[in-house]
């Protein structure tokens, strides 16, 4: 999909620069980049030692912004590869005056360059593209390479939470998380019960309005 460059992009990016921790536009070779570690110092970024949670592919940030508002004692990092989309998320975070959410403008495949092992409490994968086309498995955000990197970044006992409308992608992800050592504990379609704490994302509202089923799972990193 072609995304129109937003008006005055550079000017607007300048105004929200405090919300972007990493905007590494020059990256080309993932393997080379991963050898050259540039770990983020979260305590320095947020000015405290609160737990860190991470969303991969945050889009316009509706989910992570609501999470940050509901949990002021947790720090949130959201990753999004598209600059003109992450811009909207940062502008909303700024308008809301949030101090506990920051953004990484990069492909998720580069995350292990910036994030140390055993440092993240929760990871959210909301409506990631399923990439069903032949030859596109390497892009799928729950393939073996990504699932391994999530396992490494999570603390022991940390949790990955996935939501998707795509059953084939959901079953694929389930298998990959098991293969990479996760314990998948909560497979559910009960996101919309009264009193549920579920936060509805942009894509989720779209699928809900079409009465499409949503699949979710919780995968735990549990070392013996
Ligand atoms: C279908 S949208 C879902 C957005 C949002 N999570 C929601 O539920 O409304 C998927 C998002 O993932 C982002 N994405 C896909 N692959 C990515 C990658 N490798 N690294 C970072 N972001 C990625 C896309 O740019 C897009 O914004």
Q: Which residues line ligand 1 (CB under 6 A)?
A: 57-59, 79-82, 85, 107-109, 126-129, 141, 201-204
Out of 51-55, 95-99, 190-194, least confident range: 190-194
Do 7 and 87 form a contact (C-beta atoms < 8 A)?
no
pLDDT band at 6 (very low <50, low <70, confident <90, very high): low
User: In terms of Cα–Cα distance, which of 206, 140, 204, 211 is closest to 177?
Assistant: 140
pLDDT band at 7 (very low <50, low <70, confident <90, very high): low
Ligand 1 mean position to 117 CA, how many Å? Answer: 23
Which tens digits make up the pLDDT trace of 115-139? 999 999 999 999 999 999 999 999 9
Which tens digits make up the pLDDT trace of 102-121? 999 999 999 999 999 999 99
Q: Hey, whose CA ends up nearest to atom 23 of ligand 1?
A: 57
- How confident is the model at residue 127, as a pLDDT? 97
pLDDT band at 4 (very low <50, low <70, confident <90, very high): low
Ligand 1 mean position to 224 CA, how many Å? Answer: 33
Secondary structure letter of residue 6 according to DSSP: P
Which SS3 state, helix, strand or coil, does residue 177 take? helix
pLDDT band at 183 (very low <50, low <70, confident <90, very high): very high
- How confident is the model at residue 5, as a pLDDT? 61
Do 126 and 188 form a contact (C-beta atoms < 8 A)?
no
Ligand 1 mean position to 201 CA, how many Å? Answer: 11
- The pLDDT of 94-107, averaged and rounded, is 98
Do 46 and 74 form a contact (C-beta atoms < 8 A)?
no
Mutate to test the pocket of ligand 1, among 27, 81, 105 (most ligand atoms within 8 A of CB): 81
pLDDT at 90 over 70: yes
- How confident is the model at residue 117, as a pLDDT? 98
Distance separating alpha carbons of residues 52 and 32, to the nearest angstrom: 26
**0.85 exceeded by pTM:** yes
Atom of ligand 1 nearest to the CA of 204: 8
Q: Tell me the CATH architecture of domain 9-221.
A: 3-Layer(aba) Sandwich (3.40)
Q: Domain locations in the chain? A: 9-221
Q: Residue for token digits 């590869």?
A: 81
User: In terms of Cα–Cα distance, which of 133, 7, 3, 149 is closest to 141?
Assistant: 149
- How confident is the model at residue 171, as a pLDDT? 95
pLDDT band at 60 (very low <50, low <70, confident <90, very high): very high
- How confident is the model at residue 72, as a pLDDT? 98
Which tens digits make up the pLDDT trace of 147-168? 999 999 999 999 999 999 999 9
Do 98 and 69 form a contact (C-beta atoms < 8 A)?
yes
User: In terms of Cα–Cα distance, which of 107, 129, 127, 181 is closest to 150?
Assistant: 181
Ligand 1 mean position to 10 CA, how many Å? Answer: 22
The share of the chain scoring above pLDDT 90, in percent, equals 85
Distance separating alpha carbons of residues 154 and 149, to the nearest angstrom: 9
């Amino acid at each position: 999909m072609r995304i129109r460059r937003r008006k005055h992009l550079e000017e607007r990016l300048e105004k929200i620069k405090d919300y972007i921790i990493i905007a590494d536009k020059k990256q080309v070779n993932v393997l080379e980049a991963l050898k050259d570690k540039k770990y983020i110092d979260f305590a320095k970024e947020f000015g405290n030692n609160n737990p860190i949670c991470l969303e991969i592919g945050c889009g316009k940030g509706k989910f992570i912004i609501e999470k940050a508002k509901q949990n002021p004692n947790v720090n949130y990092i959201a990753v999004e590869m598209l600059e003109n989309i992450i811009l909207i998320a940062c502008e909303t975070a700024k308008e809301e005056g949030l101090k506990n959410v920051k953004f990484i403008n990069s492909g998720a495949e580069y995350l292990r360059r910036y994030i140390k092992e055993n440092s993240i409490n929760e990871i959210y994968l909301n409506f990631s593209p399923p990439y069903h086309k032949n030859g596109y498995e390497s892009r799928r955000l729950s393939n073996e390479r990504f699932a391994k990197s999530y396992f490494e970044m999570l603390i022991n006992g940390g949790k990955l939470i996935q939501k998707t409308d795509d059953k084939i992608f959901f079953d694929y992800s389930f298998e990959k998380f098991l293969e990479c050592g996760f314990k998948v504990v909560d497979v559910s379609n009960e996101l919309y019960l009264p009193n549920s704490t579920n936060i509805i994302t942009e894509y989720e509202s779209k699928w809900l309005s079409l009465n499409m089923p949503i699949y979710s799972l919780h995968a735990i990193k549990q070392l013996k």
